[in-house]
Amino acid sequence: MTPARLHHHAFVTTDQEATRRFYEDIVGLPLVATWTEVEHLMGGEEQEFCHTFYGLGDGGCLAFFQFANQEFSEQFAPPPPPSLFRHVAMLVTAEGQAEIRDRAEVAGVETMIMDHGYCRSLYLSDPNGLLLEFTVDHAQAVEIDVLRRQNAHSDLARWLSGDHTSNNDWRPVEMFVGEPPL
């Protein structure tokens, strides 16, 4: 049995309002829940925190914790070093991707487009240093998915054995538009 969908992916923020403005006003994800709680967390210390959830189309959410105790928060808040290899990717329509890019650019948020061949992705960073990817699938995504599923194990075995040739026949030579938002 596989999980039905992403319930939520949680991060720590030091500024819930900046996070809300980014996700609601730029990305277009609605704030769907705010939990304000007091709990005994790590080390038995009582911690006051606010936990917000921004809704995705499938019912899942991106979630953010902010702790009242700044010292406690700082041990979780520093983002990892910027990298295209650490991000959250979400499926959008081409129109949705263009709208997010337009709002980001108006807000002064740097964006980058990368054409992976099998999908075209918009990248931008949130106020917490989290890199987001908004992906539009290739017109032949269903056929590509069938092929990748059929060959997933043999492609992995081939790569692990030392054959590192690409199997991405859809990737264009020029794949970047803009600078990485890192």
Residue 144 binned pLDDT confidence (cut-offs 50, 70, 90): confident
Q: Do domains 1-78 and 83-164 have the same CATH topology?
A: yes
Residue 25 is predicted with a pLDDT of 96
The type of residue at 38 is: V
Segment 24-68, tens digit of pLDDT: 999 999 999 999 888 876 667 788 889 999 999 999 999 998 888
And the tokens for 144? 């590509």
And the tokens for 62? 């991106």
Query: Is 118 strand, coil or helix?
Result: coil
pTM, full prediction: 0.78
Sign of CA dihedral 42, 18, 119, 144: positive
Segment 109-120, tens digit of pLDDT: 999 998 888 889
CA distance 140 to 28: 27
* H-run or E-run covering 132: strand 131-137
Out of 101-105, 161-165, 170-174, which region has the weakest mean confidence (pLDDT)? 170-174
Q: Where are the domains of the chain?
A: 1-78, 83-164
CATH number of 83-164: 3.10.180.10
CA distance 11 to 38: 18
Classify the phi-psi angles of 94: left when phi > 0, otherwise alpha if psi is within -120 to 50, otherwise beta. Answer: alpha
pLDDT at residue 128 is higher than 70: yes
CATH number of 1-78: 3.10.180.10
Residue 80 is predicted with a pLDDT of 62
What is the edge-to-edge ordering of all strands in the sheet holding 131-137?
88-91, 131-137, 119-125, 112-115, 176-177
